Every structure is written in structure tokens, then in C-alpha cells.
Amino acid sequence: MKKAFKVLGYALLSIVLIIFLLLVYVKTALPNVGDATQLTITYTPEKIERGKYLANHVTVCTDCHSTRDWSRFSGPLVEGTLGKGGERFDQQAGFPGVFYSKNITPAGISRYTDGELFRLITTGVTKEGRAMFPVMPYSHYGQMDAEDIQCIIAYIRSLSPIENAVPESVADFPMNFIINTIPAKANLQKLPPKTDQLAYGRYMANAASCIECHTPVKKGQIIEALAFGGGREFNMPDGMLRSSNISPDSATGIGTWTEEIFINKFRLYADSSYQLPVVKPGEFNTIMPWKMYSGMTEEDLKAIYHYLKTVKPVSNQVEKFSVHLPAK
């Protein structure tokens, strides 16, 4: 009997040691995406203009890295906060920790080389080699064209500097270990020609990370079988928001939408005379930055529409918003 307990003790000790060594490995050896490349970007007006378009209307970097006015529908950006960072994503909104968007104006990124910024945007690894939680969908940016990423860098380098000290993000356990396993090496793709509308639409939908918000998740991972089927939940102060089904299902998605209907949905918010309505507590609001996406070109919106019409239809009737019931 003593021998059995001794063997069991050694077995348990071995398991504990293996787990300890594994955690040490995850904390010290990961993330491993390679060194930042030696990169010097030429900041031409053309690059900056392309980056401005992408960062404000496609990848919408300035969405999370600015302050949004949640008293109005879809949370438009507060004037004078472009790129200052400091937006908080915490447990109340369903995140496994407290994460803050960084200051991406020159006041916040001047210590980064172009190569370090490129690695950060495309892999989620900081200058110091730390892993970022993927609030920023860097896995999608890592599938973009290198030239487009360089244009985004050129643009944010051109922003007006805003001094804003942002707190450090802190992941809860066990995410503080898991987070190191998330970054992966970039899988950069060439920008398809616009004449190949399907491939170009797929590229633009990836750059806009449509699948991230419009797909349900399980344990933080999107459910591929339900891609674009909507229903991902976002805990808002007054209720539960759920994303729309943008798959081509005729009954519950956009299957009956024409190209014109799809484009006009965005164009409504591009009209300079349109004022985003005030949203009262308990009323429906959305995290979808309509004002920003409305600045996408008609050509790009058409391409995304035609790509979405080719994905698998998902039957999923979404209740877009339900008010939190008062605690008993």
C-alpha cells in the first residue's frame, strides 16, 4: 500500500512539474512570430491617403482607438479624439480581463519603428514581444497586402499628436497564459484586382473583419459553421446586443437584398444632412460604426455584397436587442 501511495505521489509530482514547465514555456517562449523586419516606409501623399481611407472606412482602426459618443446611435467619434486610445473593454462587456486601446497618434507610437508597427498590426505582438488580446483583429490584418498595412502606418504617423497616457491591459487567469498562444505569423496576401470582384470582395470583407462581429463565438472562437450568420452577443450597459445575420439566407439573412438595398443601407449614414439620433437609456443602440463604414466607396461595397452572396446561407433569426431585466 505504501508503495502504491509512493508511486501515486511521484505521478502527481510529475504532472505538476509538467504543467509548471508548460506554463513557464508559454510565458517565456511565446508568442513566437519572428523578429520585426527592417522596414522604412516612404510616407508619400498617396500612401497616406490610401491609409486614411482604410483606417477610417474599412479596417476602421480609429473606431476603437478614439472616443465614441454612445449617447448617439452607433457611437460616432468624438471630435478631437482621433487615435488617442483609452477605450476600455472589460468583463462587463464579456472580455476576459481589462483591455485598453492604445494611443496610435505619433504621441503614442513614436517609440516604434516601422517594422515593429508592421509586426504589431499583422501579428499582435508589441515592441517588447508581448501578446495583445485580439480586440484588434490582427489575424485579419495579417492576411492583407503588405502595401495596405504600410499605408495605414503612414496615415497614423500623420495624425495630430495627442498626449494621452493609456493604462496597461491586464488579462484574467487563465487568459493571461492563453493570450501568448494566440499570435501567429502573418499570412500576407496580394490585393486582388478589382476586376476579380469576388476575390476583391473577399479581401475587403476580411480587411473590414465582417466575420468577427457577425458570427457567434464559443470560448472566444468564432463558430466557422455559422460564419456571417449573426447572433454574436455584445453586452451593452442597458441590454444585450446581437449582430445581424449577413449570410445570404433568404428568410433570416440578406438573401433577398439587392445590391442597391445593401449599398443604400450604408449610404444613409454618408448623407451630410443626416443626424445620428440620440439614444435614450434602455433603447437599442449598435456598436456597428455606420458613419465610418458609410465612407467606403461604392465599388468596394458592391464587391463585399457580391462576396457575401457566395458564402453559405445560415438560418438564424436574430433578436437584435433585449433590455436587461432589473435584478430581483
CA distance 176 to 169: 10
Cβ contacts of 128 within 8 Å, gap of 6 or more: none
Whether the Cβ atoms of residue 210 and residue 245 lie closer than 8 Å to each other:
no
Average pLDDT over residues 135-162: 98
What is residue 112's three-state secondary structure?
Answer: coil
C-alpha cell, 192 = 486582388
SS3 103: coil
What is the pLDDT confidence band of residue 308, given thresholds at 50, 70 and 90? Answer: very high
Task: Give percent of the chain with pLDDT exceeding 70.
Answer: 90
SS (H, E, C) 131-194: ECCCCCCHHHHCCCCHHHHHHHHHHHHCCCCCCCCCCCCEECCCHHHHHHHCCCCCCCCCCCCC
* Residue corresponding to grid cell 456597428: 288
Which pLDDT value is given to residue 11? 65
What average pLDDT does range 190-212 have in this prediction?
Answer: 98
User: pLDDT by residue (tens digit) across 2-45?
Assistant: 666 566 666 676 676 666 666 665 556 658 899 999 999 999 99
Calpha distance 76→323 (Å, rounded): 22
288/286 Cα distance (integer angstroms): 5
Chain-wide mean pLDDT for the chain? 92
| pLDDT average, residue stretch 82-86 | 97
pLDDT at position 31, please?
82
